[in-house]
């Protein structure tokens, strides 16, 4: 678990299974999760920017499954999350985007009770698979590549 303060962390090939919190960050400046598995946790990835500091989160080629909350992005500060080539499946809540901007590319969000929820902005490259959730939630805003 990553706790309060300014943190720069890069996690690769990490398996976090059976914890209350897989990854928990507060006011994290920079977090990268690559080629990792977060499964059977209360929260797979929880990030919050409560002190108004910008948080930059990247999740790439990772699996977030069988958690109560898969990926939860919240807080009052600016948070920018990018999720690419990943799978968010079989969670209670797949992607909870309560704040900031979340960008999806090549990601599967399927077989969750709630696929996407929250009032944060979710953008998509249009190449994601968001289907088969009990409640799909709001569709992401499709944007073109730049």
Residue 97 pLDDT > 80, yes or no?
yes
Residue 97 pairs with which residues in a beta bridge?
73
Q: What span, in angstroms and rounded, lies between the C-alpha atoms of 76 and 18?
A: 29
pLDDT band at 144 (very low <50, low <70, confident <90, very high): confident
In a domain, 88, yes or no: yes
| Paired tokens of 68 | 């109560």
| Count of alpha carbons within 13 angstroms of residue 84, beta-carbon side | 7
Which domain range does residue 61 map to?
Answer: 8-142
The total domain count for the chain is 1
Asked if 73 and 99 count as a contact pair (C-beta separation under 8 A), the reply is yes
Confidence of residue 114 (pLDDT cuts 50, 70, 90): very high
Would 2 be classed as within a structural domain? Answer: no
pLDDT at position 99 is 81
| 1 inside domain | no
**Is 40 inside a domain boundary?**
yes
């Amino acid at each position: 678990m990553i706790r309060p303060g300014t943190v720069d962390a890069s996690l690769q090939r990490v398996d976090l299974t059976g914890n209350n919190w897989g990854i928990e960050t507060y006011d994290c400046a920079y977090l990268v999760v690559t080629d990792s598995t977060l499964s059977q946790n209360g929260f797979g990835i929880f990030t919050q920017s409560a002190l108004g500091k910008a948080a930059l989160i990247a999740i790439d080629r990772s699996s977030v499954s069988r958690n109560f909350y898969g990926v939860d992005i919240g807080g009052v500060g600016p948070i920018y999350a990018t999720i690419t080539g990943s799978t968010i499946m079989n969670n209670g809540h797949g992607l909870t985007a309560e704040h900031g901007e979340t960008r999806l590319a090549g990601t599967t969000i399927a077989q969750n009770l709630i696929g996407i929820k929250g009032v944060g902005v979710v953008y998509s490259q249009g190449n994601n698979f968001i289907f088969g959730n009990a409640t799909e939630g709001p569709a992401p805003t499709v944007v073109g590549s730049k």
